[in-house]
Amino acid sequence: MTVDVETINEYLVSIFNDILTIEETELQKSQFSDISIKEMHTIEVIGMYRKKTSSEVAKELMVTVGTLTVAVNNLVKKGYVERIRSEDDRRVVKLGLTHKGKLVYRVHQSFHRSMVKNILGDMNEVESDALLKALKNLHEYLERFK
Task: Single out the residue of 83, 91, 2 nearest to residue 46, CA to CA.
Answer: 83
In terms of CATH architecture, what is 36-143?
A: Orthogonal Bundle (1.10)
Q: What is the pLDDT of residues 23-35, one digit of tens each?
A: 999 899 999 999 9
Domain spans, the chain: 36-143
Tens digit of each residue's pLDDT (9 = 90 or more) over 58-114: 999 999 999 999 999 999 999 999 999 888 887 888 999 999 999 999 999 999 999
Burial label for 104, CB within 10 Å (0-12, 13-18, 19+), is: buried
Taking only the tens place, the pLDDT of each residue in 95-104 is 999 999 999 9
Question: Which pTM was predicted?
Answer: 0.85
- In single-letter form, the type of residue at position 68 comes to L
Amino acid 89: pLDDT: 81
Contacts of 53 (CB under 8 A, 6+ apart): 92, 93, 94, 95
Whether residue 143 is predicted with pLDDT greater than 90 in this model: the reply is no
Q: Judging by beta carbons within 10 Å of its beta carbon (0-12, 13-18, 19+), is residue 26 exposed, middle or buried?
A: middle
Contact 44, 108 (CB under 8 A): yes
Q: Which residues of 37-61 are buried (b: 16+ CB within 10 A; e: fewer)?
A: bebbbbbbbbbeeebbebebbbbbb
User: Listing from the earlier edge strand, what are the strands of the sheet with 81-85?
Assistant: 52-53, 93-97, 81-85
Side-chain half-sphere CA neighbours of 59 within 13 A:
6
